[in-house]
Amino acid sequence: MQRHEGEISTDGSAPRCAIWGTLNVTPDSFSDGGRFQDPTHAMAHARRMADEGADVIDVGGASSRPRGKLYGAGASEVTLADEIGRVVPVVAALGDALSLPISVDTCRAEVARAALDAGASIINDVSMGASEALVALAAERQVDYVLMHTRGQGEVESPNTRYADVALEVRDELLTVVDRAVALGLPRERIVLDPGIGFAKTAAQSLELLGRLDVLVATGHRVLVGPSRKGFIAETASRPDGSRPSPSEREFGTAAAVTAAVLQGAAAVRVHDVAAMRQALLVAQGIFSASGRSARGGVHVD
């Protein structure tokens, strides 16, 4: 990775939360499925996100939406060849066109290896280290590795959602995998933690995690949060008639979640609407900077 999130300055000195722009090159993403599957459309969208202030472009070729009441049957299985075929040409083209770091969002070592060979420099693993081969690849290549918390296949149902203390259990389960990754040769400083908002968590649990993100920040690892357009927003902020806003109508709820993440000390947020979320996070950090306080320390509001 060319630069670490949390080490990017807005005024030459103050660190700010980095923005990861989501680029789904799939036909069935819960939010924008099919819109950017065409490489030409994918490139245009990536350029637009870069122009809007994205610090990293995160490319995914297989939807990870979990089975359950929010997303129905969940994501369809994607063959290895199809996932590589979707991801690698886009990663290669982005590497030629942009100076930004490229992340590959995958659970498969074969896809990650091909993407790294094509120019990616970060692995974003939403399976919480389910593939030892993928973790070992991160160690072999010495690249930044995002470890997202989940249980099962991310289904938002019991037993996955049984937590006595969701923040502490998410932390402890992530750190167990961190230890395994370190044993395989991946330096701790290369590991970024993601609480897995919306994966194996109810809306209430996702909200609690956002409010207690400092539990993860206190581990010393950089923390990336991906709340963008997710179902917990629709459940929390239904319309006056009780219906739920569609993914494209959850921008304001996403901005609230991004603000909470920033104030709790997140080093990066993964979003769809880069320009709007950049504005939200810069204002949030600006308020605390102007008051002589730092949003990076994890601010609590009682």
User: Residue 199, by phi and psi: left (phi above 0), alpha (psi -120 to 50) or beta?
Assistant: beta
Annotation marks residue 201 as catalytic: no
| Number of helical H runs and strand E runs in the chain | 10, 10
Catalytic residue among 230, 250, 278, 296: 230
E-assigned strand segments in the chain = 8-9, 15-16, 18-24, 56-60, 102-105, 122-125, 144-148, 191-194, 222-225, 268-271
| Per-residue tokens: 177 | 């995998």
Spatial distance between the Cα atoms of 182 and 149, rounded to a whole number of angstroms: 17
Assign 222 to helix, strand or coil. Answer: strand
Q: Give the span between the Cα atoms of 236 and 199, in whole angstroms.
A: 16
Residue of 108, 190, 250, 270 with catalytic role:
270
What are the structure tokens assigned to 91, written together?
Answer: 């990663």
15-16 and 8-9 strand pairing: antiparallel
196: left (phi over 0), alpha (psi -120 to 50) or beta: left
Helix (H) or strand (E) holding 216: helix 214-217
**What six digits make up the tokens of 20?**
């990861």
Is the CB of residue 124 less than 8 Å from the CB of residue 146? yes
Q: Residue 126: which of 214, 54, 223, 195 has the closest Cα? A: 195
- Write the burial class of residue 276 (CB in 10 Å: 0-12 exposed, 13-18 middle, 19+ buried): middle
Q: Is 69 labeled as catalytic in the residue annotation?
A: no
What CA–CA distance (Å, rounded) separates 41 from 93? 12
H or E element: which one contains 82?
Answer: helix 80-97
Which are the catalytic amino acids? 230, 270
